[in-house]
Amino acid sequence: MAKNKEKLNIDLSENKPKKGIFKKMFGSKSEQKKILETIKNKKIETFFFYTDVNNLLIILENGIQLLKEKSLEKDEEYIVWTYLEHKESIGLEFDTSTRAHFWKWATNSKVDVEKISVIGIDPHKLAKLTKNDWAYDATKKVVYVYETIPVEAIEYIMIKDKANLKRIKTYVDSNDIDIDVFYGESGNIEKKEKK
């Protein structure tokens, strides 16, 4: 009984779930497989990651990194929100999420909503590009990834700040990065058409 209570109290944002030797040998990405099955059943197409618009150039250069992996130049700044960015993990929400947790957190933290950018991540590309297993916190409805999320897994970026929209679009176009960048006035996500 004590083991079950212990498992329930694990903070997945900072602690990668421990696996027994059997799971290490035969089920290296067992949670990831369960999450992919869940998103298939619930018709989820994208994971969401929220960040400050000023972080986008660093993300486009390095991917979405764990805080412990961040290394900035002298003149660089990266604004950390503790909602989805942690030392040991990166949290992602389902696109079907009501995002109530995020907006409640943003309001309580007095985050300027005009500076919020939503990054859409393709879960299937992410699965192919990551080596480590993921974890899912059903209470928070957040998927935790325990390594850098490569730029190649990013499908689109929604920006509410017009001043930064052109700058990010120009960077993506000039570096020939296959990511859609669009203005989201109402915060609604535009679904790009699949080819």
Query: Could you tell me the CATH number of the domain that includes residue 101?
Result: 3.20.170
The answer to the question of residue 124 being in a domain is yes
Range of the domain at 88: 44-68+79-187
Is 39 part of any domain? no
Q: What pTM was computed for the model?
A: 0.81
Whether residue 5 is contained in a domain is answered as no
Q: Considering its fold, how many domains does the chain have in total?
A: 1
Burial per residue of 75-105, b for 16 or more beta-carbon CB atoms within 10 angstroms, e otherwise: eeebeebebbbbebbbbbbbbebebebbeeb
- Asked if the model's pLDDT at residue 84 lies above 90, the reply is no
C-alpha 105/C-alpha 153 separation (Å) is: 26
Q: Which residue has the tokens 């000039």?
A: 174
pLDDT tens-digit map of 132-170: 999 998 888 899 999 999 999 999 999 988 889 999 999
Residue 31 lies in a domain: no
SS3 102: helix
Q: Which of 4-18, 107-121, 138-152 has the highest mean pLDDT?
A: 138-152
Q: Is residue 21 part of a domain?
A: no
CA distance 155 to 92: 14
- Tell whether 34 is covered by a domain: no
The answer to the question of residue 119 being in a domain is: yes
Confirm whether 18 is domain-assigned.
no
pLDDT of residue 168: 95
The pLDDT score that the predictor gives to residue 172 is: 96
